[in-house]
Amino acid sequence: MNRNMYETPFNTRYSSKEMIELFSPDKKFRTWRALWIALAEAEKELGLDITDEQIEELKRHKDDINYDVAEQKEKEFRHDVMAHVHAYGEQCPKARGIIHLGATSCYVGDNTDIIIMKEALEILKVKILKVIKNLSDFALKYKSLPTLGFTHFQPAQPVTVGKRACLWIQDLLIDLEDLNYVLKNMKLLGSKGTTGTQASFLELFDGDYEKVKKLDMLIAKKMGFDSVYPVSGQTYTRKQDSRILNVLSGIAQSAYKFSNDIRLLQHMKEIEEPFEKKQIGSSAMAYKRNPMRCERISSLARYVIVNVLNPAITASTQWLERTLDDSANRRIVISESFLAVDAILNLYINVTSGLVVYPKVIEKHLMDELPFMATENILMEAVKKGKDRQEIHERIRVHSMEAAKKVKEEGKPNDLIERILNDKAIGIDSEELQALLNPEKFIGCAPEQVDDFINNHVNPLLEQLENGDLKALDVEIKV
């Protein structure tokens, strides 16, 4: 690390090695060379005077990039693509004259961006599946553990810990669906020329439009794509960037929701994120166990959600066939959004791999509120015994108000149960009341919903995790 120079925190603190390398200059420039090879091969197959010897020369030097020459040439030309064309040409003197034949800078620039984004989405897809796997295991383990539900962060009808986890999973399933759709529909720019008319290629092929079309598809196949954009300006439509970053924003939104929920639950001491043996929660308050990983998820997610405005503005302000006001913005926004979501998912995997649940605290909070929720059941039980419904309703209402006053104004425990037991007019004994207060009577279909959801909607997707590489997926949290 050069401590005298700024370095993005994504490299030093947050993102994974595989994602950092994917958006590295070396990956970009090696992809440029792969595209130049694909172009030369396709042009040869369609009849241009390009030899096998020239192509083999290009292939020999695909990965040993002479960066010193490229950097010197860029200082001279003020043009990064032409700098690398000349640098490649110095290594490949026999092929020099056919490198970049008929192409414009966006042939390598735009196609490389699409290739890298596709690979990045594949990395994120695996990580989303890993989070879903962690959460589905958690949901099944705690599918029947009753916990206080909350609406408006006010106590509400009980749910189960596992059912709540299914809400987090469902958001990720939506993200996965969107990601898969985008992956399936990603297209290369192909070889479209300076304004998208393919005029230079039509000239190369002596006016043979069919060969021009075949060139597009040959390049796509060689680079692992099934299709290209049928029409373009000089660049592929920037709507594609906007669509992709919307997927990244969706993932960030889902992770943000999860991290906020865990932060609330950790405040209540019900569920905590992992806390390592020597981890320090506060430099001043030694007792603290701050939810720092979930807070970091929230922080990075906010960055991604805001960042998605950039490609939306870029897509809507491109002039005619091409303007360059997108370039510097895209160079930062696309890579850093992917690096941020990668970091978010690394944290999400880490946290869900070691969530700590405190059933006794969960039970205490539930039982503090359950008497209020059980009053309707108590009322019905009293009526079954022949009591007057309106009279019992009023007595329970008065007891409830008094119990709530004790809790809120005097800070004392909820004594509603004792009040009801001591009210002979209600006529409910202790054994009957305990049966009515069984938390499992208040969770509805939650355990069954968990089973159905995991079996029918999650497990079919998780079959992908049977692949050994996915099983072995692990992430390192740097700090």
For 432-441, how does the pLDDT look when each residue is reduced to its tens digit (9 = 90+)? Answer: 888 888 899 8
Is residue 394 over pLDDT 80?
yes
Among residues 201, 199, 188, which one has the least CA distance to residue 230?
Answer: 188
**What average pLDDT does the segment 366-377 reach?**
85
Report the pLDDT value the prediction gives residue 283, as an integer from 0 to 100: 45
Report the pLDDT value the prediction gives residue 280, as an integer from 0 to 100: 46
For the question of residue 282 being annotated catalytic, the response is yes
For the question of residue 61 being annotated catalytic, the response is no
Which residues, other chains included, contact 192 with Cβ-Cβ below 8 Å and sequence gap of 6+? 106, 107, 198, 216, 229, 232, 234
Among residues 478, 450, 254, which one has the least CA distance to residue 350?
Answer: 478
Burial of 118 per CB tally in 10 Å (0-12, 13-18, 19+): middle
Higher pLDDT, 7 or 93: 93
Report the pLDDT value the prediction gives residue 406, as an integer from 0 to 100: 87
- At 428, the amino acid letter reads I
Is residue 445 over pLDDT 90?
yes
Least confident of 47-56, 117-126, 165-174, 422-431: 422-431
Is residue 452 over pLDDT 60?
yes
Are residues 228 and 189 in contact, defined by beta-carbon separation less than 8 angstroms?
A: yes
Least confident of 145-149, 191-195, 382-386, 471-475: 471-475
Marked catalytic residue, from 79, 267, 282, 299: 282
Phi/psi of residue 476, each to 5°?
Answer: -115, 125
Marked catalytic residue, from 84, 86, 136, 152: 152
**What average pLDDT does the segment 371-386 reach?**
85
Report the pLDDT value the prediction gives residue 287, as an integer from 0 to 100: 46
Least confident of 326-340, 349-363, 418-432: 418-432
Which residues, other chains included, contact 111 with Cβ-Cβ below 8 Å and sequence gap of 6+? 31, 35, 188, 189, 190, 219, 223
**What average pLDDT does the segment 70-90 reach?**
95
CA torsion angle for 417, 419, 422, 424 (degrees, to 10)? -100
Report the pLDDT value the prediction gives residue 5, as an integer from 0 to 100: 86
**Which tokens in the block code for residue 95?**
């092929």
Report the pLDDT value the prediction gives residue 430, as an integer from 0 to 100: 86
Q: Is the dihedral of CA 223, 228, 229, 232 positive or negative?
A: positive
**What average pLDDT does the segment 219-248 reach?**
96
Higher pLDDT, 421 or 466: 421
Is residue 465 over pLDDT 70?
no
Percentage above 70 pLDDT, the chain: 94
**What average pLDDT does the segment 149-177 reach?**
96
Residues paired with residue 271 on neighbouring β-strands, in sequence order = 357
**For residue range 255-292, what is the model confidence (pLDDT) as tens digits?**
999 999 999 999 999 999 987 654 445 444 444 478 99
Report the pLDDT value the prediction gives residue 478, as an integer from 0 to 100: 66
Confidence class for position 466, pLDDT limits 50, 70, 90: low
CA distance 157 to 109: 55
Which residues, other chains included, contact 262 with Cβ-Cβ below 8 Å and sequence gap of 6+? 271, 272, 273, 291, 294, 351, 355
Rounded to the nearest 5 degrees, what angle is found at the Cα of 468, between the Cα atoms of 462 and 473?
75
Domains of the chain, CATH where assigned: 18-98 (1.10.275.10), 105-361 (1.20.200.10), 375-436 (1.10.40)
**What average pLDDT does the segment 330-354 reach?**
96
**Which tokens in the block code for residue 48?**
């241009």
Among residues 51, 126, 54, 42, which one has the least CA distance to residue 93?
Answer: 54
Helices and strands per DSSP (H, E), number in the chain: 22, 4
Confidence class for position 463, pLDDT limits 50, 70, 90: confident
Is residue 250 over pLDDT 50?
yes
Report the pLDDT value the prediction gives residue 282, as an integer from 0 to 100: 47
Report the pLDDT value the prediction gives residue 385, as an integer from 0 to 100: 87
Confidence class for position 338, pLDDT limits 50, 70, 90: very high
Q: What is the pTM of this model?
A: 0.90
Alpha helical stretches, state H, 268-319: 292-307, 309-317
**What average pLDDT does the segment 100-106 reach?**
95
**What average pLDDT does the segment 307-311 reach?**
94
Confidence class for position 377, pLDDT limits 50, 70, 90: confident
Are residues 114 and 28 in contact, defined by beta-carbon separation less than 8 angstroms?
A: no
Integer CA distances (angstroms), 432 to 98, 365, 381, 440, 441, in order? 90, 22, 9, 15, 13
Residues 355-359: contacts with CB within 8 Å, 24+ apart? 355/138, 355/262, 355/271, 355/272, 355/273, 355/274, 356/271, 356/272, 356/273, 356/274, 356/275, 357/142, 357/145, 357/161, 357/270, 357/271, 358/269, 358/270, 358/271, 358/272, 359/145
Coil, strand or helix at 356:
strand
Report the pLDDT value the prediction gives residue 379, as an integer from 0 to 100: 85
Report the pLDDT value the prediction gives residue 284, as an integer from 0 to 100: 46
Mean pLDDT of the chain: 92
CA distance 452 to 146: 18
Phi/psi of residue 407, each to 5°?
Answer: -70, -50
Burial of 154 per CB tally in 10 Å (0-12, 13-18, 19+): exposed
